[in-house]
A and B are shown apart, each in its own frame.
Chain A
Amino acid sequence: MASSRSRGALTASMAGPKAKDDPVRQQLIQALFADSSSSTAETMMTYVKIYEEEKAGKDMKVLAGKKGSTERTKMLSKPRYLCLTVKSNGKVRLHKVKKTSATSYHIGRTWHLDEIKSIENVDARRWTVVINRPYAWVTDAPELKSDFMMMLLKVLRSNLKRLPTLINIDEPALATQFNVAREAAAGTSNRSQRAAPIPGGIANSTGSFVQDFENRLSIQTERMKRSAAPSSSSLNSGITPGGANSPRSDQSGARMIEEQEPLDEIALLNLEELLYDMDLASSEDGVALETRLMNELSALEMTNVYSIIESDERIKDVMSELDKGIEELDDMDSWLSLYRQELDSMGDDIRQIESQNRGLQVQTSNQASLLRELENLLLSITIPDSVLETLKKESLERDSSIRRLEEASAEIQDVLLTKFDEDVAGMSAVHNRMEHYSFHCDNFAGRLFEFLRTKIQNQADHYLNDKQRSLSKGYLVMFGYQVVERYFIAYRGLILWLREMDSRRFTDLQMQYVNNMNRLYRKEIKEFFNILSTHHVAKLEKPDDSEFVFGSSYHGGGIIARGGTAIRESLSSPSDLTGRIPWRKRSTREIQDPNVNPSTRSHTGDLGESSRKIEVGQEEKLSIDEAFAQALTIMTALASREQNYMSDLFTLTKMMSMRMFLDDPQLNGNGSTAKYAQLDLETQRKPTLDLKSSKRLAQLMGILFDGLSVELNNFAEMGVKNESIQCVGMLISVERAQKEIVDSDQGFLITMLAQLHTKLVGMFEKYVEEQLKFIEEARSKTKRKGVLPFMRIFPRFAQRMEALLEGNESTEARQLISAAYDKLVRVMFESTEALAKETVDFDDKEQGSHVVNIENMHHFYSEMRLRKVKVTKLESYMKYAKTSYESHLETYVRGVVRRSLSKLLDFFDGVEGLVKTKTSASEDVGFHLTYNKAALKKVVALYPPSVVRKDLLHLYRKVEKHFASSDEEQEGLLQVAWRGIQEEFIRQHERFSRLIRECYPAEANVQMEFSVQELLGFFSEIAKSHQYS
């Protein structure tokens, strides 16, 4: 109660400058003492602006005295503010405050009152306070200093039992000054108010008493005012003594009276106390006391009288005091509204704190759930140690172990392939765990890879040295590798895992596989072809020494160079050759499945289902193209199976994850046998759309079978070298093989066969070119007589080609061969005709030419028909040959007859000419000088039967000679020609007879000297004489 009393009193009445009018005061409160909410809050009672006088140092300035330059300059600090504050518990403190900016302040030092040791007044503006050290302070104006000191002293007095030492301080003077200052501040000059209660004399003698008195008085006043304060939040509240509230009257009179009474009461009260106080001086004798009291009394009376006289004045004073009181109340009101504002803002703060609190709760629960999430996450990416142990130690050998490893590796994969967002992945808990698993994963990948690598290598080494697998004459097998296939397919799941987790090792594993298997295949394929070509291929003793070859570089001039017959012994009879070289139209042998025929197992026992064999007897030989066809069939089947296996083993062409594989009971059957049984390696597969994997498969196959293409090429070259035309047969086999895989994924084989095909086509084209050259060259080299060698060879060649092509009509080979026919025949015909024209091998060049044409065209046509070579492309040539043959024959026959009967023919041609031109009637011919009867007789006489007979005999010998070479081959052309000649003779005879009849009168009686009968007789004579020759 006491503390709050003193606070209230001090703040309200002692504040020097009025709060509202003093911005510095407001600022200080605002900055330092506004916070009234906390228990340690302080309220500023008053302040004074000072400068500190000190030894020179930083933060000081030279301040020139305001009142002129006469004053000496001193080292002063920047302004400071001494603030006197009171806490809610009544504790009063002194602060030294520094201004830090326009409106902000900082408390530099704080002292408790009892720390003040002494206060010394120096001069009007300067004073020294000793606390822990002396402080010399200067104020702007003397009254500010005295006001503050006054206040300080009051406070000291009311709060301390022992005052600090006061030096050179005149308290009453101070008090006076203080009141003067207050009055000055209030704008009124009222000496009586000051003089009345405290007469100067008394004051002088009993300074402390008066001071005390006034102090008490003022405290009482304040108490009274304060008691009204709590309820005076509204301006309407009146101020009544004892704390009673009553509406304040607006009449100043009424207010004055009401105020009067309590004041008197207080005076009495004080008087009692006063008397009590004065009791202390009762040791004085009664007289003295009486005197003194009398004195006092008279003084009081005087004062009283004075007061009464001046009562009007006092009313004024009271009025002004009341006004002041009201002002104070206004102040208080503004204070209260300030408090309310403070409270309101505190309310806001509280609400804000509450909402923050709620936010914190949400955050806490979020963090809790985050923690749970994280725990779940860590749990989800936690792999039991047993799994890691399995990966580390479990054997890779048995089916059951493999199964366990599959599960374990899938588990680690699931975790390692978990997708985290960046934040989660960045968490060190997650990161570390991942690193750890990644390490295990890598170790297992390494272990798996090493294991499989070693196994593959061992398997390859084993089979490489397997004597059971060596081939020999009569034993031509390409062995399968089911054992290897079955063994490794057990690891398909783990290999799939490797593909996903370590693509580098995965690629490396593929390389290991193909490189090692390549060692086997390379060796075995080489051996196979070696045995095949050394023991089981029918070769010509002399290369290209065959009935199908037009010319031979080996023989230099070749067939033709040998001379007139132009046919070598060996070629004279195609059947001989057929017996020697067992070529077939097409392979009638099927590749044997060794398991079907138990007899073939005798050699090594079970060959396995994927082993493939050519059935040959010990000494049996196959034609080159047949051998090639069979080898090719075996090799393509082998390679295609191997590709299918690799594609499955490494899961290259299927989009499948390890999980998918493991979860598919179909694919991942129990144990390797089940896994293996599930594979279908023999059926061709559709090409994959994934270019990458098909390219990779092709690359692997290229490494695996790098020996195959070489062997096939070598074999083909060997065959063609032996007999050029073999390329066609091989070409056809290649095309057949291509057809089987054209729609499959066998990229490697497709490419390899395409290359082989191109090569064979090249060989064939080269062959055709050579033949063409040969045919053209034949013009200058050959004896131009008889059937020309190329005409003889072509039908056989065509027949062989057709036989090879049988059933392959729409192939490239067909077109290739047809085109070759076209080129060859065209050149052949041209050459034939050119040769015929230039022939010098006959008695008669012209007739010889006809003979060459007749013989060759006839041979071509009849041979082709005989051999039943029916090729659309060749039909026009066939027709051409036939027509050419017929016309040449006709011309030949006519020519021959004309030679014999030239005079007759000339004569009758002339006769007929006359008749035809109609220059004269047929009867008139006889009158023509050249064709008269005499001339007729003369020419007819030239051909008596004896001459005709002789001529005919001679003629026959000549014709016989013409057709001598072809006659050797029993072509029968002599007979054909001779029959034609006979017919021509008879026809001409008939013609002559008719013309004689028509153009010469019967009475002329001219006849042909030889009759038809005689002619026929001669013919039969010739026929008889040559029948048995």
Chain B
Amino acid sequence: MGKKAKQDLPLHKVIMVGSGGVGKSALTLQYMYGDFVEEYDPTKADSYRKKITLDNHECQIDILDTAGQEEYAAIRDNYYRSGEGFLCVFSLCEYESFVHTQEFKDQIARVLGDDKIPFILVGNKADLGHLRKVNREEAAARAAEWDCPYIETSAKTRHNVEEVYTVLMRKIQDRKESAKERERKNKKGKCLLL
């Protein structure tokens, strides 16, 4: 019985995107294991699964940590298709990585054909204040343009790490709920017709 309950838990699929070295893996590992990884080993693509409690409900989060410079387009598209929410990460210390977020955003919109997908723009490495290259206003403006939240994090100090995943999962959950709602209404409508 316990097993059943566990398998029936809602699963939220989150995908980390962004240029290499911005801290996607560091954020993921900090969130998963509460640990900061110093050494930098470019990711291939890795998936993580964890049971969590979101607003008093148990659920599972599935995080897909992608490589920034994904060479295998066919595979990448497959990945994106499976995502229910995206954390689009850039490094506050590297302007280039901020510029690249646009490409990721476009690509996601193209693959999913959906610009309402839960999406958060994440400025990471906030702890390195003296190296900051992207100011908050500019990033916030881009997020406003995309109609998505902008959150600054530090995988090192864990600042906003929990929050960024929680906010995203709430968005995913809300979206699923409203989709269900619609479905119910549709069914009701049909019944009435009958």
Q: Are the C-beta atoms of B25 and A511 separated by less than 8 Å?
A: no
**Cα–Cα, bound, A234→B156 (Å):** 93
**Cα–Cα, bound, A434→B73 (Å):** 9
Q: Quick check: is A358 within 8 A (CB to CB) of the other chain? A: no
Q: Are the C-beta atoms of B44 and A692 separated by less than 8 Å?
A: no
**Cα–Cα, bound, A506→B47 (Å):** 8
Known: A425-B73, A692-B25, A692-B37. A507 touches B49 (CB 8 A): yes
Most buried by B among A416, A417, A437, A504: A504
> Which residues of the partner chain B approach A691 to less than 8 Å between Cβ atoms?
29, 35, 37, 39
**Cα–Cα, bound, A691→B32 (Å):** 12
**Cα–Cα, bound, A503→B6 (Å):** 21
**Cα–Cα, bound, A417→B44 (Å):** 12
> Which residues of the partner chain A approach B29 to less than 8 Å between Cβ atoms?
691-692, 695
Q: Are the C-beta atoms of A695 and B64 separated by less than 8 Å?
A: no
Interface residues of B in 5-45 (CB under 8 A from A): 6-7, 13, 25, 29, 32-33, 35, 37, 39, 41, 44-45
Which residue on chain B has the smallest CB distance to residue A505?
B47
> Which residues of the partner chain B approach A696 to less than 8 Å between Cβ atoms?
48
Q: Quick check: is B135 within 8 A (CB to CB) of the other chain? A: no
Q: Are the C-beta atoms of B35 and A695 separated by less than 8 Å?
A: yes
Q: Quick check: is A515 within 8 A (CB to CB) of the other chain? A: yes
**Cα–Cα, bound, A442→B79 (Å):** 11
Q: Are the C-beta atoms of A438 and B71 separated by less than 8 Å?
A: no
**Cα–Cα, bound, A417→B13 (Å):** 24
**Cα–Cα, bound, A417→B48 (Å):** 22
Q: Are the C-beta atoms of B47 and A416 separated by less than 8 Å?
A: no
**Cα–Cα, bound, A501→B47 (Å):** 12
**Cα–Cα, bound, A459→B29 (Å):** 32
Known: A503-B47, A507-B49, A699-B32. A416 touches B3 (CB 8 A): no
Q: Quick check: is A191 within 8 A (CB to CB) of the other chain? A: no
Q: Quick check: is B74 within 8 A (CB to CB) of the other chain? A: yes
Q: Quick check: is A589 within 8 A (CB to CB) of the other chain? A: no
> Which residues of the partner chain A approach B45 to less than 8 Å between Cβ atoms?
503
Q: Are the C-beta atoms of A503 and B74 separated by less than 8 Å?
A: no
Q: Quick check: is A58 within 8 A (CB to CB) of the other chain? A: no
Q: Are the C-beta atoms of B47 and A515 separated by less than 8 Å?
A: no
> Which residues of the partner chain B approach A503 to less than 8 Å between Cβ atoms?
44-47, 64
> Which residues of the partner chain B approach A419 to less than 8 Å between Cβ atoms?
71-72
Known: A503-B46, A503-B47, A692-B25. A515 touches B33 (CB 8 A): no
Number of A-B residue pairs having CB atoms within 8 Å of each other in the complex: 65
A948 to chain B, nearest CB (A): 85
Q: Quick check: is B82 within 8 A (CB to CB) of the other chain? A: yes
**Cα–Cα, bound, A437→B75 (Å):** 10
Q: Quick check: is A258 within 8 A (CB to CB) of the other chain? A: no
Which residue on chain B has the smallest CB distance to residue A437?
B74
| Chain B binding surface, main DSSP class | mixed
**Cα–Cα, bound, A501→B74 (Å):** 11
Interface residues of B in 44-69 (CB under 8 A from A): 44-50, 62, 64
Interface residues of A in 437-488 (CB under 8 A from B): 437-438, 442
Q: Quick check: is B78 within 8 A (CB to CB) of the other chain? A: yes
Q: Quick check: is A431 within 8 A (CB to CB) of the other chain? A: yes
Q: Quick check: is A576 within 8 A (CB to CB) of the other chain? A: no
> Which residues of the partner chain A approach B78 to less than 8 Å between Cβ atoms?
438, 442
B26 to chain A, nearest CB (A): 10
| Chain A binding surface, main DSSP class | helix
Interface residues of B in 77-134 (CB under 8 A from A): 77-79, 82
Q: Quick check: is A314 within 8 A (CB to CB) of the other chain? A: no
**Cα–Cα, bound, A419→B48 (Å):** 26
B11 to chain A, nearest CB (A): 9
Q: Are the C-beta atoms of B47 and A504 separated by less than 8 Å?
A: yes
Q: Are the C-beta atoms of A416 and B49 separated by less than 8 Å?
A: no
Q: Are the C-beta atoms of A435 and B74 separated by less than 8 Å?
A: yes
> Which residues of the partner chain A approach B77 to less than 8 Å between Cβ atoms?
438
Known: A515-B3, A695-B35. A507 touches B74 (CB 8 A): no
Q: Are the C-beta atoms of A504 and B74 separated by less than 8 Å?
A: no
**Cα–Cα, bound, A516→B13 (Å):** 22
B47 to chain A, nearest CB (A): 4
Known: A515-B6, A692-B46. A504 touches B64 (CB 8 A): yes
Q: Quick check: is A18 within 8 A (CB to CB) of the other chain? A: no
> Which residues of the partner chain A approach B73 to less than 8 Å between Cβ atoms?
425, 431, 434
> Which residues of the partner chain A approach B32 to less than 8 Å between Cβ atoms?
695, 699
Q: Are the C-beta atoms of A504 and B82 separated by less than 8 Å?
A: yes
> Which residues of the partner chain A approach B64 to less than 8 Å between Cβ atoms?
503-504
Q: Are the C-beta atoms of B35 and A508 separated by less than 8 Å?
A: no
Interface residues of A in 698-729 (CB under 8 A from B): 699
> Which residues of the partner chain B approach A504 to less than 8 Å between Cβ atoms?
13, 47, 62, 64, 79, 82
**Cα–Cα, bound, A431→B77 (Å):** 12
**Cα–Cα, bound, A317→B91 (Å):** 98
Q: Are the C-beta atoms of A416 and B75 separated by less than 8 Å?
A: yes
B19 to chain A, nearest CB (A): 16
Q: Are the C-beta atoms of A500 and B47 separated by less than 8 Å?
A: no
A450 to chain B, nearest CB (A): 14
Q: Are the C-beta atoms of B49 and A508 separated by less than 8 Å?
A: yes
B68 to chain A, nearest CB (A): 15
Pull 18 A–B residue pairs with CB atoms less than 8 Å apart, ordered by A.
A416-B72, A416-B75, A417-B72, A438-B75, A438-B78, A503-B44, A504-B13, A504-B62, A504-B79, A507-B48, A507-B49, A508-B62, A511-B49, A515-B6, A519-B3, A690-B41, A695-B32, A699-B50
Besides A434-B73, A438-B78, 4 other A-B contacts (C-beta < 8 A): A506-B47, A519-B3, A691-B39, A692-B29
Q: What are the 10 closest A-B residue pairs judged by CB atoms, nearest first?
A: A438-B74, A507-B47, A434-B74, A503-B47, A695-B33, A504-B47, A503-B45, A419-B71, A507-B49, A511-B49
